[in-house]
Amino acid sequence: MAKKKSLSERQKNILSFIHSYREEHDRPPTIREIGAAVDISSTSVVNYNLTRLEERKYLMRDAEVSRGISFTDKALEFLGVVADSVNDAVGAVAADMGLLKIPLRGNIGASLPLESVMSDFSSYDEEDAIEISSSMVNGRSQDLFALRVDGDSMIDAMVNDGDIVIMKHQQTANNGDMVAVWLEGDTMTLKYFFYEGDQIRLQPANPTMDPIIVDPEVVQVQGKVMMVLRQTA
């Protein structure tokens, strides 16, 4: 019987980087981020190694989801990662089903700010939910919600009109985070967030559109984008 080929050092480094990145950012890295971390300049070479890892049951990839990379149990065993008992208990039922329901809480403007139809994110129709693989979010859904994108100001960030963004609820942001924010006048928008002196710049990812410059007093961060679900229909 032929001996199974072990992982290359490059593939081991890719697995280790994906794990450490997810621990720090709560989401998988992009192809380019993986390449930069393991010293691969070609995205096709990164994709080749990810495909080999997928074929050998270390990774699962979802082509319809931005950053759609998740670990299998085989990868977690290789990395020496043991899920804690609390998270196991919370996510046990969802993990068995393989899917989690994320509440869809409305639309968000990705051009001009969109008038908000909700005063908060505390209520939603139970029937309006997005199902995603539990492995994409490590079985954790307590602080996640979904919004449908209305507009094309984030197209260079691979977020198109009609896409669904999965958000992690938080009220703070760091420079470069893609966030949902409420602005004065009860409007919401999806933009990159930057501090600029005593003001905040909400930057679109579309070269034809200008940034929104506002005072911090009129900005309320509502959540950070964790992943994008492509709408292909």
Distance from C-alpha of 99 to C-alpha of 77, rounded to nearest angstrom: 22
57 is annotated as an active-site residue: no
135 is annotated as an active-site residue: no
Catalytic residue among 70, 134, 135, 153: 153
Catalytic residue among 70, 116, 191, 224: 191
- Tell me how far CA of residue 106 lies from CA of 1, 41, 109, in angstroms: 56, 39, 10
Q: Please, where are the H alpha helices in 40-101?
A: 43-55, 73-79, 85-97
Task: Classify each residue of 61-74 as buried b or exposed e, where b means 16 or more C-beta atoms within 10 Å of its C-beta.
Answer: ebeebbbbbbbbee
Closest CA to 229 of 71, 100, 67: 67
Catalytic residues: 153, 191
